[in-house]
Amino acid sequence: MKKINLLIILALLFSSSLWAQDKSDAKPIPEAEVFTSTQNVRINGVNHALKTRAGTFLLRDESNEPIALHGFTAYFKEDGPSKRPIIFAFNGGPGSSSYWLHMGVMGPKRIVVNDPGYTKAAPYELVNNDYAILDIADVVMMDPVGTGLSVPVGKAEGKDFWGVDQDIRAISLFIMQFLKEYDRLQSPKYILGESYGTMRNAGVMNYLLDKGIALNGVVMVSAVFDIRSLAFPVQESTSYLVHFPTYATTAWYHDKLKNKNPSLEAFVDEVRKFTEEEYMPALFKGGRLSETDKAAIASKLEQYSGVSKAYWLRANLRVRAQEFFNELLREEGMTVGRLDSRFTGINPLTQNQYAITDPQSDAISPAYTAGFLDYFHRDLGVSKKLNYRTSAYSAPGFKWDWSHKGNEGWGSMISINTAIDMADAMNKDPNVKVLIMNGYYDLATVFYGVEHTIDQMNLRPEIRKNIIMTYYEAGHMMYTHMPSLIKFKKDLADFIQDTH
């Protein structure tokens, strides 16, 4: 009997030590930190005081388990329950933080850059953002996990956030929990995404609707929903076709066309017509296209793109974006920008087939990065001990999962398409409106690709009318161009005022 009791005691002691070891080894959940300040913005001669919160929010999963400290910066006109519109905004990547939109157009301050040239090194100019939307809406800038201050916590890992569906879920969870925490469930609600953020938007609007959160509006800045429009897959013509009008606008801007139409909009309509009625049938014929017809199409391609007929013939009428970047200004030893083809940079290897740098990114990135970090820590008062990641690419193990529910069996990354999510949401909620903002000189997410995707969404006419398209004589980040920044504000303000 004594022997049995001894065994029981030893077993209890052993299990207790294991429990204590497990408990001590468990990763503690860090506390969220929020830094408060009052920011001011002057718009149309009126000063607006903004109660600002910058830091992290403890994000929980569906079982109420902590999964992330989610970084954000929120600008509120007032405290407490409000029916003032609220906009959740983010950039793309995937893997980009929100500092581009934050310092370009959405925040109370903006970085001044030398558009469309190279911005000199510091000191950078940070000015009042006369064209912020903060006079009519509150703004929450979001940094997806792996960017900004956002990190996984508890049992969660990066892979739980880094993927098409994982990202849609996490962003949606943050929005739902933030609305509840700050008593904003009755506010008119908007999401605004740029680049990959628009692909995210299409999924988030549907996810939120299925959870009982209907949006008043969705804003897509430099949109892409169907990756095929950007990927130039083998034996697929879509990418070549949808890029061509932006090749043409780029040549128009750089005066590489003979007898060019003085009206950019009229010129774009002419190029759309050529692309649909002549270029597309030629590519569809492939090897059946006669040499005579091929030469005729190549001549037209030269006429509209500024790239020689001989080059188009050598390329079999198919020129990829990276090839066009280098070819248009090859003789001058220059290359054009991917994000904004108005920007030009030195081409050190003129014999190269592909461009090796993006002049627009080179020209403005240092100003945005240093200017934002100074504002984030100095003006917003965020602790300098916290490291803000401008992108997730430096995060350990960062790798994007391109699979997406609804696209199963379609093949690879180039088949991912979230337009099906947007169509589903718009059919289930015929009141929701979508604003799509396109840059004529954006060679990263081309405007004709968005138009083509929308044409294939099989929407009823009354639902199709809920999609509003606006265009700007600038590129991917059209707000670096002052006339486009002014138009951006007007278009966004009109959209919000019309939808709540």
Backbone angles phi, psi at 385, to 5 degrees: -75, -15
Residue 402 near residue 412, CB atoms below 8 Å = yes
User: Rounded to a whole number, what is the distance in angstroms from the first to the last CA of the chain?
Assistant: 78
What integer is the mean pLDDT of 280-309?
97
Chain-centroid distance, C-alpha 464 = 22
Given a cut of 50, is residue 500 above it in pLDDT?
A: yes
Q: Average pLDDT, stretch 10-25? A: 39
**DSSP reduced 3-state for 220:** strand
- pLDDT band at residue 80 using 50, 70 and 90 as cut-offs: low
pLDDT at 15 over 90: no
Which residues in 148-298 belong to E strands, given as ranges? 151-152, 189-195, 217-223
Q: Determine the distance from the C-alpha atom of residue 256 to the mean position of all C-alpha atoms in its chain, rounded to a whole number.
A: 30
The whole-model pTM stands at 0.93
Distance in angstroms (rounded) separating the CA atoms of residues 178 and 89: 13
Q: For residue 224, what are the CA distances in angstroms to 167, 418, 448, 453, 469?
A: 16, 9, 10, 9, 13
Instruction: Average the pLDDT over 36-56 and give the result.
Output: 97
Report the percent of the chain where pLDDT is more than 70.
93
Strands (E), 379-466: 433-439
Query: Does 412 score more than 80 pLDDT?
Result: no
Q: How far is CA 97 from the centre of its chain?
A: 10
Whether pLDDT at 7 is above 70: no
Is the pLDDT at 207 greater than 80? The verdict is: yes
pLDDT of residue 235: 84
Tell me: the pLDDT tens digits for 367-390? 999 999 999 999 999 999 999 999
Q: How many Å apart are CA 335 and CA 337, to the nearest integer? A: 7
Predicted confidence (pLDDT) at residue 410 exceeds the cutoff of 80: no
Q: What angle do CA 215, 219, 220 make, to 5 degrees?
A: 135
pLDDT exceeds cutoff 60 at 5: no
Average pLDDT (447-465) is 97
- Per-residue confidence (pLDDT) for residue 19, from 0 to 100: 34
pLDDT averaged over every residue in the chain: 93
pLDDT at 471: 98
The DSSP 8-state label assigned to residue 163 in this structure reads B
* Cis peptide, bond prior to residue 66, ω within 30 of zero: no
For residue 241, give the 3-state DSSP assignment.
helix
* Residue intervals in the chain for CATH 3.40.50.1820: 34-228+365-498
According to the model, what pLDDT value does residue 26 have? 53
Instruction: Specify the higher pLDDT residue, 500 or 469.
Output: 469
| For residues 303-318, average pLDDT | 98
Q: Is the pLDDT of residue 445 over 60?
A: yes
Structure confidence at residue 296 as a pLDDT band (50, 70, 90): very high
pLDDT for the residue numbered 262: 97
Across the range 233-250, mean pLDDT stands at: 95
pLDDT at 390: 97
List the CATH code of the domain at 34-228+365-498: 3.40.50.1820
Cβ neighbors of 138 (< 8 A, separation 6 or more) are 74, 75, 76, 77, 82, 84, 85, 86, 87, 184, 187
Residue 1 has pLDDT above 90, yes or no: no
> What pLDDT shows up at residue 408?
64
3-class secondary structure per residue, 67-124: EEEEEEEEEECCCCCCCCCEEEEECCCCCECCHHHHHHHHCCEEECCCCCCCCCCCCC
